[in-house]
Amino acid sequence: SIWQILEVMVLSALAPLSLGFHAPMTAVAPASRAAVRMQVGYVAPTAPGVAETPLARGNAPLGIDSSILVQGGSLRTWSYRSPSVEQVQVVLSTEGRPLDADIELWQGPDNTPCKMRVYVENGQLRPFSAVVETPRGPNTIAIRNIGQIEFPLAANVVAENVDAPSAECLDTRMTIQGGALRTYPFDPTVDSVQVLLKTDGRPLNARIELLQGPNNNKQVIELYTEDGLDRPFFCILETPGSGNVVRVVNTAPVEFPMTAGVVPNSINQQMSYDAVLGGDVVLGGDAGW
């Protein structure tokens, strides 16, 4: 009809006017387009037939270090349900601050067959590394940072590639009677030391100290194990510098002897015995010229 023809003519006349209200379209530079894609989390398309990897999805690749930060006063647990996990290695470290922690092995309700208290003066220079026996799973490793909130620590518990004592450490074990102690001095070339404690099946109560100077404790481990034959204790102590002495104390009564093997683990072949000019030696002392 005539009204339909008039309506079409009016709409065609108004169409250019409505388009004039829009801002003109400008070309987007490739750099700007990339920046917009980064801001909105743009996902780059993958090629056909190629599996999408975490890196292709825009996520950072997983790091090798699996340490967990444990703040002061906090508790973290690692559970292993498989009975094939017979031992785990616990590694604790800090960024140079003191380390004070409790480590416990939980097996069943209200059963703690192994526990230890660890103190390290400098967790970066001397990180703590010990092997905890976990036979007959399931087992749970509990690590509690009993330091203040200003002293966090990094904890890592692994069940693969666990350290093992050397043949020398097994062959040189000596008996320490209840209440007795033994000291093991080491040369400055020794960078780390192996410590193995074991009993004939009786409970194991011991105190391991790393001294550097008279009564200067750099690292202290207070240990309890309900069965020193089924759950022996093995650790590696870092011994940088000179004057390092490892002291092992059997804190149990005389009815509970134990055997201890303490031998060097790694030796620094680059250590020099020559005098260092300009060191701490003052020529002449207080004498006047």
Out of 59-68, 73-82, 134-143, 203-212, which region has the weakest mean confidence (pLDDT)?
A: 59-68
**What's residue 45's pLDDT?**
41
Q: How far apart are CA 217 and CA 180, in angstroms?
A: 19
> Is the distance from CB of 246 to CB of 262 less than 8 angstroms?
yes
**What's residue 164's pLDDT?**
93
Burial 224-253 (b: 16+ CB within 10 A, else e): bbbbbeebbbbbbbbbeeeebbbbbbbebe
Tens digit of each residue's pLDDT (9 = 90 or more) over 52-86: 333 333 333 333 568 899 999 999 999 999 888 99
Tokens of 45: 């398309």
Q: How far apart are CA 119 and CA 207, in angstroms?
A: 11
Is 80 exceeded by the pLDDT of residue 181?
yes
**11 band by pLDDT with thresholds 50, 70 and 90:** low
Residue type present at position 240 = P
Is 50 exceeded by the pLDDT of residue 288?
no
Is 60 exceeded by the pLDDT of residue 207?
yes
Can you name the residues that pair with 87 across neighbouring β-strands? 133
Q: How far apart are CA 262 and CA 200, in angstroms?
A: 18
Residue type present at position 84 = S
pTM: 0.71
> Is the distance from CB of 55 to CB of 107 less than 8 angstroms?
no
Nearest alpha-carbon partner for 240 in 216, 209, 271 = 271
Q: How far is CA 258 from CA 114, 125, 177, 225, in A?
A: 16, 30, 6, 12
Average pLDDT over residues 1-28: 55
Nearest alpha-carbon partner for 132 in 182, 78, 176, 63 = 78
**What's residue 250's pLDDT?**
96
Tokens of 49: 């037939």
**What's residue 195's pLDDT?**
97
Fill in the DSSP letter of residue 262. E
**What's residue 7's pLDDT?**
67
Is 80 exceeded by the pLDDT of residue 235?
yes
Nearest alpha-carbon partner for 130 in 112, 108, 168, 104 = 104
Q: Dihedral of the CA atoms 277, 279, 285, 289 (nearest 10)?
A: 40
Residue type present at position 288 = G
**What's residue 1's pLDDT?**
62
**What's residue 10's pLDDT?**
63
